[in-house]
């Protein structure tokens, strides 16, 4: 489930450390957040741990809209967190690229 939002802005690493089409997991407080860098440098941030059985969602196959968990292939929408395959929803979090090229996550 999504951690309670406090609205705090967390500065993560530089965008350059995530190849286009891939994701990286960041520890933010007690939360593990997967940040995906999509084409056009669109960013999406979701809970990194699959609610089905703990799979690492940052290692899943992603396109512009969804990520597929690498363990049992549940599908999650990167913008809404809803699962189209019957898993519980995951949290989605506001994320943006700052002017200095670093990723800023609101949690
Ligand atoms: S752990 Fe993600 S689908 Fe099973």
pTM: 0.92
The correct answer on CATH 1.10.287.1770 for the domain covering 9-106 is no
Inform me whether the pLDDT recorded for 4 exceeds 90: no
Q: What is the pLDDT of residues 26-66, one digit of tens each?
A: 999 999 999 999 999 999 999 999 999 999 999 999 999 99
Inform me whether the pLDDT recorded for 8 exceeds 80: yes
Q: Which atom of ligand 1 has the smallest separation from the CA of 70?
A: 2
To test the pocket of ligand 1, the residue of 52, 60, 75 to mutate (highest count of ligand atoms within 8 Å of its CB) is 52
Instruction: Please give the order of strands across the beta sheet that includes 31-37.
Output: 23-28, 31-37, 43-47, 92-93
Q: Which atom of ligand 1 has the smallest separation from the CA of 74?
A: 3
The gap from C-alpha 99 to its chain's centroid, in whole angstroms, comes to: 21
Cβ–ligand 1 distance for 69 under 6 Å, the answer yes
Enumerate the domain spans of the chain: 9-106
Inform me whether the pLDDT recorded for 1 exceeds 80: no
């Amino acid at each position: 489930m999504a951690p309670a939002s406090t609205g705090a802005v967390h500065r993560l690493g530089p965008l350059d450390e995530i190849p286009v089409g891939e994701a990286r997991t960041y520890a933010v407080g007690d939360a593990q957040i997967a940040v995906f860098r999509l084409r056009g440098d669109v960013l999406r941030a979701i809970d990194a741990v699959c609610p089905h059985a703990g799979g690492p969602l940052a290692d899943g196959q992603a396109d512009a809209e969804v990520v597929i968990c690498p363990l049992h292939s549940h599908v999650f929408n990167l913008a809404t967190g809803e699962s189209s395959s019957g898993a519980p929803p995951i949290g989605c979090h506001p994320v943006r690229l700052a002017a200095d090229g670093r990723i800023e996550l609101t949690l």
